[in-house]
Structure 1
């Protein structure tokens, strides 16, 4: 990250999610190409975003990463994102992660190349400073590929596939949605510019939407 991010703090996780949904709807009102984080934190934002009036048929979405699980597994990011967004007519580019990290990464490289640059990437922040499936000190951080295989992830499941730094850095805007007291230290490190994976993404505009618990405010 080349400059300090814009930080906005909200009273509750719900109000931070509403702000994220508004930003998604504003920035993607005419369609576009966007990255959406997995996990539980952004699901309310996606549910609210899914109700927005925009040119959904012109919207191409891709998860930031995927867990190497069967396609119908409830912990797949693509499944959770689609369920939260509801029955819109967007395109969701799914990683074939059930084929394993290497094969999934190989197959998605050209797809991601054709999507670049991204208009927006909504990402999360792990307690250890990871984002997508890019973990501290993991070999995937050093890869120049657009899509990187991840084995031995410190968070279950250990096998994953992720957009790499080379792809995520080609985002016009990166938004980090960070909520909860458990993320407090990671958020401090992000804002201080420390060498955590999230700070290695070089985007023209970086925004952080946090709740008071994550920011450490009463």
Structure 2
């Protein structure tokens, strides 16, 4: 698993934008990007909205998990600039897809997946103890999340296998609080049962670790 080191977390926007420019030039038709909620979402939205209008028109965004109570991850995306882009007509609300329990999130495979990794190694709303799940549904209900809010709709492990196994997946370890989780993943001794993000290593995804954590930092 490759590691991409950032000087600071804000550099993520530049890296993502440059990659997306290459992608839109090399691929015709629709482009499907999977996004997390949380603090990294604003950096990703910033990178996406730097695309030219004709390029942006080809982008479909898929939120990989959504809170079912309290402040929504959708609100995070809208506040990061997507809401203004929709109001201005440079991005259509129909280009944004939100997971709903029991519904298929996407019928087309993703071209890029960006996932914020939690301090416990979780991604989307797949927390320690969730692997292996016994479902064929793309989107599942989480009713007892270990971090608030308790109720969430998340893309399942099955969903990630169906939609993201062929494309680059970027695991975002941003901030010193993620240092232990990063060390656990690169240590290679844990599986997805205790460290969910190890799923991408063990299932042989094209995954890259992206981090602003400096080696040896306290």
**TM beyond 0.5:** yes
- d(CA) in 2 for partners of 1:190 and 1:143? 25
Number of residues paired by the alignment? 197
* Corresponding residue number in structure 2 for 1:211: 212
TM-score scaled to structure 2, two decimals? 0.80
Gaps (5+ residues) in structure 1? 96-103
CA distance in 1, matches of 2:3, 2:177: 18
CA distance in 1, matches of 2:178, 2:76: 22
Q: 5+ unaligned residues in a row in structure 2: which ranges?
A: none
After TM superposition, list the pairs within 5 Å mapping 1:1-218 onto structure 2: 5-28=1-24, 30=28, 31-53=30-52, 55-69=55-69, 75-86=71-82, 87=85, 88-90=90-92, 91-95=95-99, 104-106=100-102, 108-109=103-104, 111-112=105-106, 114-115=107-108, 117-138=109-130, 141-169=133-161, 170-171=163-164, 172-193=167-188, 194-195=190-191, 196-201=195-200, 202=203, 204-213=205-214, 215-217=215-217
How much has 1:161 moved relative to structure 2? 0.5
The CA distance in 2 between the partners of 1:20 and 1:189, in whole Å, is 25
RMSD: 2.3
Q: Give me the TM-score of the superposition, normalised by structure 1.
A: 0.80
Aligned with 1:133: secondary structure? coil
Q: Which deviates more from structure 2 when the two are superposed, residues 176-185 or residues 142-151?
A: 142-151
Distance in 1 separating the partners of 2:199 and 2:213: 25
